[in-house]
Amino acid sequence: MSEVINSFILSRAVSGSLAEFLSALSGDDEIAVDSIIVSLQPSANTLRDYLRMLEDITVRDRLSLGDIVRQPQLAALLEGDASAGRKDRQGRFKRELELLRYPERSRLLQDVQSLQRQIASRYGFRVEVPEMLEGDSVKIQFSARSTEEMEKAALKLADLSRSEELSQLYQLLLGI
């Protein structure tokens, strides 16, 4: 067991299945977990969450932990900007893991975000979708400083209601 992992187990009083898992690591996987611990300084629970996602990816893609952690988007976060806050770096690492773990949801999110940008650009409305895309309703936000602006917004809203962008957004939310 590496000194980094041993120190992590002792300093965080890690026990049970996580301690067993960490103690059993060797080679490339041990180096990968060492780099996560050193770079991100996660709590035991945060490391457990990372490892669960990594394990799911290893099973699905038949890759080692090291292979996954060396992927450019993850490696860049582990080697990157140390001046960024620890929580920020941990959050970005988790988001990148989620993108790898749930590729279809990630693609869907990208499609939804693209449509949100198109709607904002074309119609001037901010469209909010349900968190994690779990639901089928949207919120449309706008502001008006006068009755004239409100009237113009109402006309644009009517145009938006008939738009291909909004239709596509609802199709994505409904899973069509």
What does the pLDDT look like over 19-34, one tens digit per residue? Answer: 899 989 989 999 999 9
For residues 86 and 63, what is the distance between their CA atoms, to the nearest angstrom?
A: 27
Contact 125, 119 (CB under 8 A): yes
What does the pLDDT look like over 42-74, one tens digit per residue? Answer: 999 999 999 999 999 999 999 999 999 999 999
Contacts of residue 128, Cβ cutoff 8 Å, sequence gap at least 6:
138, 139, 140, 141
Averaged pLDDT, 66-88 = 86
> How big is the chain by its Cα radius of gyration, in Å?
22
For residues 76 and 72, what is the distance between their CA atoms, to the nearest angstrom?
A: 6
**Sequence-ordered alpha helix ranges (H) in the chain:** 3-11, 16-24, 27-40, 44-61, 65-69, 72-79, 86-101, 103-123, 147-161, 164-174
